[in-house]
């Protein structure tokens, strides 16, 4: 009975953490920063914000079916709750929705800058060669809310 009550308590604590996590906020999970997307079809999405993807309209890496790592990670609610039951600090909210918007809005101008620099060197079209990869690493300063290319 004690084990049942302990499991119920840890599940309720985990559910409270997840329920209080605002959609589109920036979270830290496993030491990396993600934008936490709302649950769609029973799965929450974690959009990595560690690089600019030149192949997307907003510069965020929003596709996961690619030949390199770094796309959206989808997780079911139960899977997230299991992680939170084991370690309540597995996910931490780093920036609220408004501050997250300030970070995310900087990805499009960076994407445009990368494309312009590439085209200014004489290349025509979006040729995804070794020199012009879709994922360009960024540095994010959480204090000043500035995103810069590495």
63 or 104: which leads in pLDDT:
104
**Spatial CA neighbour of 100 closest among 147, 62, 134:** 147
Domain ranges of the chain: 2-149
Question: Quick one: DSSP state of residue 134?
Answer: S
Q: For the beta carbon of residue 80, count every other beta carbon within 10 angstroms.
A: 23
pLDDT of residue 97: 93
Percent residues over pLDDT 90 in the chain: 47
pLDDT of residue 134: 66
As a 3-state breakdown, the chain gives helix, strand, coil percent values, each rounded to 5, of 35, 30, 40
pLDDT of residue 16: 92
**What's phi and psi for 11, nearest 5 deg?**
-65, -45
Between 28-32, 35-39, 53-57, the lowest mean confidence (pLDDT) is in: 53-57
Mean pLDDT for the chain?
Answer: 84
pLDDT at 64 over 60: no
Reported as a single tens digit per residue, the pLDDT across 80-129 is 999 999 999 999 999 999 999 999 999 999 999 988 887 777 665 555 55
> What pTM, to 2 d.p., does this model score?
0.83
**Spatial CA neighbour of 46 closest among 77, 20, 68, 15:** 77
Helices 2-19, 77-86: crossing angle, 10 deg rounding: 120
C-alpha span between 55 and 133 (Å, rounded): 9
């Amino acid at each position: 009975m004690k084990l049942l009550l302990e499991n119920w308590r840890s599940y309720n604590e985990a559910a409270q953490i997840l329920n209080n996590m605002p959609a589109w906020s920036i979270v830290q999970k496993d030491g990396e920063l993600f934008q936490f997307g709302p649950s769609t079809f029973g799965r929450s999405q974690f959009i990595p914000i560690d690089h600019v993807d030149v192949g997307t309209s907003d510069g965020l890496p929003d596709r996961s079916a690619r030949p390199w790592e770094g796309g959206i990670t989808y997780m079911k609610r139960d899977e997230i709750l299991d992680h939170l039951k084991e370690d309540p600090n597995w996910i931490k909210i780093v920036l609220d929705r408004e501050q997250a918007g300030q970070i995310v809005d900087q990805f499009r101008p960076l994407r445009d800058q990368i494309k312009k620099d590439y085209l200014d060197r004489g290349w025509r079209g979006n040729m995804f060669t070794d020199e012009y990869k879709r994922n360009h690493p960024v540095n994010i300063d959480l204090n000043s809310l500035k995103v810069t290319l590495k």
